[in-house]
Amino acid sequence: MTLIYQRNVDGPVTHAFVVGCGRYPNLGVAGSANRNAPIAGALAMAELLMAKREKLVAPLGSIELLLSDPASTESTTDIGQRLTGTIATQIETADETHFRDSGEKWLNRIRPGDVIVFYFSGHGITDRVGDAVGLLSDVGTSRNRPWAQTFSLTKLALALRTMSAESAWVFFDACQEVVAEFADRLWDVKNIELKELTLRDITGSGCEPLALAAAATGRVAWAPDEDEPPFFTQILLKGLSGCCVERTREHGWAVTGVTLLYDLAEVGRSIIDGIAVQPQSLAPHSERKVLLAVDHPFTPVTVRSNPEMHMKLAAAVRLMCGSDIISSGKVSNFVWRADIAFAERELTVYCETRQGAPMLAPQTFRQQLPAHNITLIPVRERA
């Protein structure tokens, strides 16, 4: 099965299509293109949607899920121990056939006023005009049409515009590398189309999807070596959890198009070390749309030092609001992190240093969304 969640809800609902593609038997040599991160990313996205099912502005109605797991060569992936609360535990692979079938079922469920969510994690490239292209697990199967098992994000976003939805959200966690073999096609590659479009379709009224990619055109996306979601998905999940928010009239604190567009990069600088994640907008967008409401917004606070070795020698960090300790803890790997409930207030970071280690000067800042990156410097010695 590919349908892992479904329920009947009065009024508009959210319909999601989540794809994690980590197994590519015909790409690269001897499994060199396989990745674990897309599977972890897709499962984490599905888990978040189910956990936030009542906080989505249109309650969750369904999730279609496809997975191509590099840990298995079977036709299905078992998620029984990895994702709870589903109506199916054996998930079909993210190949051309299932992508078409699940995509059609997904689009057929959408009614006027609904909300659409599409998430893809796997390998990606860019075509000759710079549009993002996702690769499915059976890409390269056909000798005569090696790139047929691909889909264009631009065409998908255009299709979603015509569905009479209230809003559409597209997240593409993949590279946008330029591959000469793909760009050198004499005619455009015939990508998978989930919906045929006419000029009348795309010039009519409809929503403007928010489409975000993990990397800019021609760039690569990154993922950890461990069985964890890719870095873009990590910051996306963090933002959706409550730090990429703004105050709205109808929903209170909420994740909106504008907060995802402009705040995710700052969240990435706070929670990811050594990798700069710069999401790219892939399509015209309606940035004032709301995806989900948040009861308790927070800000990730990250504390480092310059030079960074001084932080390594620190004993602990305290985050204070006046005389109140908001958070405290030991330093791990040159950095200290905490998620702090949001309030309009001044906070001060104090660093407790070990005997003989350089003292670091406290730093005061006013708490703001979406995140804080604090760099402490040594206390100046008196002359």
| Residue 381, domain member (yes or no) | no
Reported as a pLDDT band with limits 50, 70 and 90, residue 186 is low
| Residue 383, domain member (yes or no) | no
- 198 and 140 housed in the same domain: yes
Residue 367 has pLDDT above 80, yes or no: yes
134-184 pLDDT, tens digit each: 999 999 998 888 899 999 998 999 899 998 899 999 999 999 988 888 877
| Residue 382, domain member (yes or no) | no
Among 235, 263, 293, residue at a domain's last position: 293
Q: How many domains does the chain have?
A: 2
pLDDT above 90 coverage of the chain, percent: 69
Residue 360: CATH number of its domain: 2.60.40.10
Calpha distance 246→240 (Å, rounded): 12
For position 225, what pLDDT does the model report?
84
Task: Report which secondary-structure segment, H or E, holds 171.
Answer: strand 167-173
Q: Which amino acid is at 95?
A: D
- 3-class secondary structure for 81-126? CCCCCCCCCEEECCCHHHHHHHHHHHHHHCCCCCEEEEEEECCEEE
- 253 and 316 housed in the same domain: no
Domain extent, residue 53, equals: 3-293
Q: Model's pTM, two decimal places? A: 0.95
Among 293, 319, 344, residue at a domain's last position: 293
Reported as a pLDDT band with limits 50, 70 and 90, residue 260 is very high
Residue 79: CATH number of its domain: 3.40.50.1460
- 190 and 284 housed in the same domain: yes
- 67 and 138 housed in the same domain: yes
- 143 and 178 housed in the same domain: yes
Per-residue pLDDT averaged across 363-380, rounded? 94
- 288 and 369 housed in the same domain: no
23-78 pLDDT, tens digit each: 999 998 878 899 999 999 999 999 999 999 999 999 999 999 999 999 888 888 88
| Residue 361, domain member (yes or no) | yes
- 256 and 368 housed in the same domain: no
- 207 and 266 housed in the same domain: yes
- 76 and 211 housed in the same domain: yes
For position 183, what pLDDT does the model report?
78
Check residue 36 and give left, alpha or beta (phi > 0: left; psi -120 to 50: alpha). Answer: alpha
* Length in residues, the chain: 383
- 277 and 323 housed in the same domain: no
1-34 pLDDT, tens digit each: 799 999 999 999 999 999 999 999 999 887 889 9
213-250 pLDDT, tens digit each: 999 998 999 999 888 999 999 999 999 999 999 999 99
Contact 167, 208 (CB under 8 A): no
- 95 and 136 housed in the same domain: yes
| Residue 288, domain member (yes or no) | yes
- 78 and 198 housed in the same domain: yes
